[in-house]
């Protein structure tokens, strides 16, 4: 028996605002919103009949945003990697994210890496990888 990866939980000060930011960045949908939790999922997961067509183990994950009183103080121990599609432009995607409120972050990655480290509006680091098709 194996467990199913259901979601990634993001601690934050303002779940509604941060969830809306990530939903915009990823093109995802908010499917649950309360004071103590906001859930976003990929668009294919809200298509009619999705739950009947796709076994639970193959459905993918959502992001859940929950409030915490403290701010982030050290480098994330876990982060999200985003990748442009094979024919997309990494620099253009990075600029889109910066225009949306992300900022560049130095976590010691060095100048010759193929990815870009950014932080969301609350400081959670994530990477934008080089374009890929898988």
Task: Pick the last residue of a domain from 67, 89, 110.
Answer: 67
For residues 15-33, average pLDDT? 97
Is the domain of 62 the same as that of 90?
A: no
Task: Pick the last residue of a domain from 42, 67, 92.
Answer: 67
Tally of structural domains, the chain: 2
What is the domain extent for residue 32?
7-67
Binning pLDDT at 50, 70 and 90, where does residue 57 land? confident
Q: What is the pLDDT of residue 2?
A: 81
CATH (domain of 58): 3.30.720.120
Is the domain of 50 the same as that of 13?
A: yes
Is the domain of 11 the same as that of 60?
A: yes
Residue 74 belongs to a domain: no
Across 24-33, 50-59, 95-104, least confident range? 50-59
Binning pLDDT at 50, 70 and 90, where does residue 1 land? low
For residues 46-58, average pLDDT? 84
Distances (CA, A) of 107 to 45, 75, 88, 100, 124: 33, 7, 25, 21, 12
């Amino acid at each position: 028996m194996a467990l199913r990866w259901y979601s990634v939980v993001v601690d934050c000060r303002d779940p509604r605002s941060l969830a809306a930011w990530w939903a915009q960045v990823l093109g995802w949908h908010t499917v649950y919103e309360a004071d103590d939790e906001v859930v976003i999922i990929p668009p294919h997961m809200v298509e009619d009949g999705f739950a009947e067509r796709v076994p639970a183990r193959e459905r993918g994950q959502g992001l859940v945003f929950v409030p915490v009183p403290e701010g982030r103080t050290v480098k994330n121990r876990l982060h999200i990697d985003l990748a442009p599609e094979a024919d997309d432009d990494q620099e253009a995607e990075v600029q889109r994210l910066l225009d949306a409120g992300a900022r560049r972050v130095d976590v010691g990655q060095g100048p010759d890496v193929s990815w870009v480290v950014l932080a969301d509006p609350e400081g959670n680091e994530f990477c934008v990888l080089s374009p890929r098709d898988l």
